A = this chain, B = another copy of it.
Amino acid sequence: MKDLQQQKQDYLKQFQSKTYGRNLLKSDDPFDAPSEECGIFGLYSENELDTFSLSQFGLFALQHRGQEACGISVMNKGRIFNLKDEGLVLDFYKDIREPETFMGNSAIGHTRYTTAGDKKKYNFQPFFAKNEYDQIILSIAHNGNLTNAKSLKAELEAEGVVFKATSDSEVILRLIQKNLDLGLRGAIKATMEKIEGAYSVVGMTRNKFFAFRDFHGIRPLVLGAIDEKTFVAASESVALDAVGAQYVRDILPGEIVYTNENEPGLQSFLVRENCQRNICAFEYIYFARPDSTLEGINVHEVREKSGMKIWEQAPVEADIVIGVPDSGVPAAIGFSIASGISFRPVLIKNRYVGRSFIVPTQDMRERIVNLKLNPIISEIKGKRVVIIDDSIVRGTTSKRLVKILKKAGVKEIHFRSVSPPIIAPCYLGIDTPSKEDLISANMNVEELRAYLGVDSLEFLSMENLIKILGSTDHCFGCFTEKYPVPKGDDEELIK
Binding site for B on A (CB under 8 A): 25, 50, 52-54, 56-57, 60-61, 63-64, 67, 88-91, 93-94, 96, 99-100, 129-135, 161-162, 164, 177, 238, 241-244, 289-291, 293, 298, 300-301, 326, 329-330, 333, 337, 342-346, 348, 350-361, 363-364, 367-368, 370-371, 374-376, 378-379
Contacts and interface: CB of A to CB of B under 8 A. Distances in A.
A63 B241 CA distance: 30
B50 A360 contact: yes
A290 B348 contact: yes
Given A56-B359, A293-B378, 7 more contacts: A50-B363, A57-B357, A88-B354, A94-B356, A129-B132, A131-B132, A343-B343
Contacts of A364: 50, 53-54
A371 B371 CA distance: 28
A61 B241 CA distance: 33
A52 B129 contact: no
Number of copies: 4
Contacts of A356: 90, 94
Looking at A132, A238, A375, which has the most chain B CB atoms within 10 Å of its CB?
A132
Nearest to A238: B374
A51 B150 CA distance: 36
A222 to B, nearest CB: 15
A343 B352 contact: no
Contacts of A131: 132
Contact of A133 (B94, B162, B326): B162
B242 A56 contact: no
Contacts of A355: 88, 90-91, 94
7 contacts: A50-B363, A94-B356, A134-B164, A135-B162, A298-B379, A300-B376, A329-B345
A29 B50 CA distance: 21
Nearest to A244: B367
Contact of A379 (B100, B164, B300, B344): B300
A238 B53 CA distance: 39
A455 B495 CA distance: 52
B371 A57 contact: yes
Contacts of A359: 53, 56, 99
Nearest to A377: B291
Contact of A350 (B61, B133, B357, B370): B61
Contacts of A25: 99
B244 A56 contact: no
Contacts of A361: 50, 53
Contact of A378 (B96, B298, B368): B298
User: Which 7 A/B pairs are nearest by Cβ-Cβ distance?
Assistant: A133-B162, A90-B355, A53-B364, A63-B352, A291-B348, A99-B360, A291-B376
A379 B300 CA distance: 9
A300 B346 contact: yes
B53 A367 contact: yes
A378 B376 CA distance: 32
A216 to B, nearest CB: 26
A57 B344 CA distance: 26
A57 B99 CA distance: 39
Contacts of A301: 376, 378-379
Contacts of A100: 360
Contact of A370 (B67, B242, B358): B242
A352 B67 CA distance: 9
A132 to B, nearest CB: 6
Contact of A161 (B93, B133, B161, B352): B133
Nearest to A102: B360
A348 B94 CA distance: 24
Contacts of A244: 367
Contacts of A357: 53, 56-57, 60, 90, 93
A339 to B, nearest CB: 14
Contacts of A353: 90
